[in-house]
Structure 1
Amino acid sequence: MESLAQHSDLILAAVMADIAIVLIAGSVLGRVARYLRQPPVIGEIVAGIALGPSLLGLLPGDLTHRLFPVAARPFLSAVAQVGLLVFMFGIGWEFDKKLLRGRGRTAAAVSLSSIVLAFALGFGLAALLYPHHSYFGGHHISFVAFALFMGAAMSITAFPVLARILAEHRMMATSVGALALASAAVDDVLAWCILALVAAIVTASGPGDLLQIGLLAVLYVAVMALVVRPLLAAVVRRWAHDRVPRRLIVVIVAGLFLSSYATTWIGIHAIFGAFAFGFIMPREPMKVLRDGVKQPLDHISMVLLPVFFIVTGLGVDIGAISGYGYLELAGIILVACAGKLVGAATPGLLAGMRWRDAGTLGVLMNTRGLTELVILNAGVSLGVLDPRMFTMMVLMALVTTAMTGPLLPNAPLRADEPVPVGTPESRMAGSGTRV
């Protein structure tokens, strides 16, 4: 009995040491990425991949398994899930209908066009790739689920990463930047809806089960909009005047996790519950809620999300990609870029934008970042992606995000140059969400 307790203590100690390693590696490579004029998330994703089998695992002594033993990984996954749900709450919170004011039609056109084209190209590419990724571990992957998921994964634009890039390039107040941010906000909501549909199809055992999931999802949305949102607004009005009391934070965090539990129970994944709860969260009083709720939760997310990167990186094995796999990877990156670049630039041109501005809009909408990793991990948990496809899709997310900054026409800030206080850029860059 004593040896069992000692073994449990050693596992927990390994988890704590692993978190420390992840935080240090993510911080160091995040600063390197910043120095290279890339979002910190690029360095943190690379840190996760480097600590996995793609780099550290190639060294003698099986260092990846020594540092991250199999027994510790479920605990790391649990920590990563908490950070991920808090992050998804923040994404839902950041969606602001004011972004669409004066540009709603154009933003909707850009978003719909980029999603439709990216989804169609992703679906077509899935037809070519499916014969090589239809089985994994004796489990048959449905073509419909695989193709729908590929389409959804190609459709994503990472709203928080895009906001950070716009702030650092002083483009937040420009017409192109404002349109890109508004389009990305619409894009994210639509893409999450598509992924929710994919999750429902994958988890349903038949037409009857799918119908049940659909009805429960509609009921969930109705309850969130008609019951939870008014109650939450009333609680905020009653408790949050000049500061946020502890009991309000407890209510919000408990609501976040209960909402995630509800969507998991329905069959459409926990991340949708976290996103939905953030989406219905009251925004007023803005400064009180941002200082007392949003920023503290963002800080929690900022600490825990690097653990999500290492959990992701442990599933990425670049060495497993063969010669033909590199052709698949090239096709994935090409389709991902074409869908967003052409899909976003075309409605911009039709709306009267210059070629240069329309091209910039397409480049911005091609940013995927952390949001793509969230979707890819959902694909793995749903059994839609095998490890090789997961690796290639993670690399696609890395490439499409890293190429955004260098392709923008105006020069970025220096790595050590602060964003001027009081500007729209400083308010977005200082929102607390580390991307």
Structure 2
Amino acid sequence: MLVVGAILGRLVRYLRQPPVIGEIIAGIALGPSLLGLLPGNPTAHLFPVEARPYLSAIAQVGLLVFMFGIGWEFDRRLLKGRRSAAGAVSISSIALAFGLGVGLATLLYSHHDTVKGHHTSFTAFALFMGAAMSITAFPVLARMLTEHRMMGTRVGALALASAAIDDVLAWCLLALTAAIVTADGATGHMVQIGVLAAIYVAIMALLVRPLLAYLTRRWVTDRVPPLYVIMLVAGLFLSSYATTWIGVHAIFGAFAFGFIMPREPFEILADGVKRPFDGISMVLLPVFFIVTGLNVDVGSLSGRGVIELVAIILVACAGKMVGATAPGKLTGMSWREAGTLGLLMNTRGLTELIILNVGVSLGVLDGQMFTMMVLMALVTTALAGPLLPNAPASPDELAGRRSARSGEPRAA
């Protein structure tokens, strides 16, 4: 798993793609879509049924650590001076993508309303389709902007700020969907989940966050002590367990715990916490791709399935690209800049796979729908790389270089 993921992750760079594209392809290739077609079904020997629960457990740990990092990386300063524009882009792209997703769900529901012998309600299916269409992969987007030298451009900064708002809103939609599915339509259960979720948020904000800040000030001086890391890992898993017990998915607890983590002293925490956690994710997330790939069977798609796949891809692209391009143009961008913004907001990557696996665990997606949605995530993420220009150095970067050569401070 590790070797194939690493090799394909490096190879796709030559196609101007982020490594996550190669890792997703590796997961699909090692599953029934490719390796399983060979004589003797090597997939069944490499990943036997009795081993898959253990693989899922490993993948879950890697996923929770990754979500903790996503929460910690959410920088509220991104919104400084861009709240109106970023809010407009984010809300517009989510609203259109969600609406189109729900509309598409009405056409697809009758063919995907039964999952493993259990009937899925239209409300759960439609809400999930809308939420899945609404996501933008913040970490993949940040990596793309860095590789294409767009981080200092107006388009890049606005895309990153919009994606930050976008992800929070999309996670809220997904949490609502998970709660509705878990409650199974019972109003009393829904109210219980809502009350418990509100109590959880209050505890995290009013108790856990100040406690983490106190421990950080007390323990983290010139380095991160081992006991501090142990406390963080324990808190991460306890938070994930709490959200699972409430009735929403464990990933929300991991994200929330990372979100309330202190950011200062930044360099020390980045070296002692963030980078080691990223290393854990780098090793364990390929297992997540394999577990995902084992559920993807491209060969099972019929003629109707191919038509549905094309419709899903078109709706996904239209929702995010049109929904982001229009407000971008209204904020004063040129058509080229606004189009680039729409292209960036259309990237879904690993974040989409996380949402799709939640859909499978909740019993909302059947095998064919899961396969089509994974392929949609792959296509929408792969579109951006070849079409994005390598931006020249921004005025800020040029000013920084000039001041570095002259020894003068940069203008604020």
Same fold (TM over 0.5): yes
Name the residue aligned to 2:300: 320
Name the residue aligned to 2:106: 127
Name the residue aligned to 1:369: 349
Whether 2:124 is the aligned partner of 1:137: answer no
Give 1:56 shift.
Answer: 0.4
Name the residue aligned to 2:337: 357
Name the residue aligned to 1:401: 381
Contact 2:69 2:278 in 1 (8 A): yes
Q: TM-score, normalised by structure 2?
A: 0.94
Task: Give unmatched runs, 5+ long, in structure 2.
Answer: 402-412
| Residue correspondence of structure 1 range 10-25 to structure 2 within 5 A | 22-25=1-4
Give 1:411 shift.
Answer: 6.8
What is the identity, as a one-letter code, of the residue corresponding to 1:264? T
Contact 2:149 2:391 in 1 (8 A): no
Find the aligned partners of 1:248 and 1:73 in 2 and give their Cα distance: 33
Aligned match of 2:367 in 380, 387, 406? Answer: 387
Find the aligned partners of 1:228 and 1:91 in 2 and give their Cα distance: 18
What is the identity, as a one-letter code, of the residue corresponding to 1:143? F
Query: In structure 2, the residue corresponding to 1:197 is in which secondary structure?
Result: helix
Find the aligned partners of 1:25 and 1:395 in 2 and give their Cα distance: 19
Give 1:135 shift.
Answer: 1.0
Whether 2:134 is the aligned partner of 1:158: answer no
What is the identity, as a one-letter code, of the residue corresponding to 1:342? V
Give 1:410 shift.
Answer: 3.1
What is the identity, as a one-letter code, of the residue corresponding to 2:245? W
Give 1:373 shift.
Answer: 0.1
What is the identity, as a one-letter code, of the residue corresponding to 1:109? A
Name the residue aligned to 2:232: 252
Whether 2:10 is the aligned partner of 1:31: answer yes
What is the identity, as a one-letter code, of the residue corresponding to 1:298? D
Change beyond 3 A, Cα 1:386–1:290: same
Query: In structure 2, the residue corresponding to 1:212 is in which secondary structure?
Result: helix
| Residue correspondence of structure 1 range 215-234 to structure 2 within 5 A | 215-234=195-214
Name the residue aligned to 2:410: none
Name the residue aligned to 1:429: none
Name the residue aligned to 1:111: 90
Give 1:238 shift.
Answer: 0.4
Please list every run of at least 4 consecutive aligned residues from structure 1 whose deviation after the TM superposition is greater than 4 angstroms: none
What is the identity, as a one-letter code, of the residue corresponding to 2:48? P
Deviations 1:87-114 (A, max 9, x none): 0001101101100011111101100000
Contact 2:138 2:160 in 1 (8 A): yes
Contact 2:115 2:364 in 1 (8 A): no
Name the residue aligned to 1:432: none
Name the residue aligned to 2:241: 261
Find the aligned partners of 1:138 and 1:349 in 2 and give their Cα distance: 47
Contact 2:15 2:386 in 1 (8 A): no
Name the residue aligned to 1:73: 52
Query: In structure 2, the residue corresponding to 1:106 is in which secondary structure?
Result: helix
Deviations 1:379-424 (A, max 9, x none): 0000000000000000000000000111213379xxxxxxx9xx99
Name the residue aligned to 1:147: 126
Give 1:348 shift.
Answer: 0.8
Deviations 1:225-247 (A, max 9, x none): 11100000000000001100000
Task: Give unmatched runs, 5+ long, in structure 1.
Answer: 1-21, 413-419, 425-435
Percent sequence identity over aligned pairs? 75
What is the identity, as a one-letter code, of the residue corresponding to 2:167? D
Find the aligned partners of 1:40 and 1:341 in 2 and give their Cα distance: 23
Give 1:127 shift.
Answer: 0.3
| Residue correspondence of structure 1 range 396-435 to structure 2 within 5 A | 396-410=376-390
Find the aligned partners of 1:393 and 1:138 in 2 and give their Cα distance: 21
What is the identity, as a one-letter code, of the residue corresponding to 1:228? V
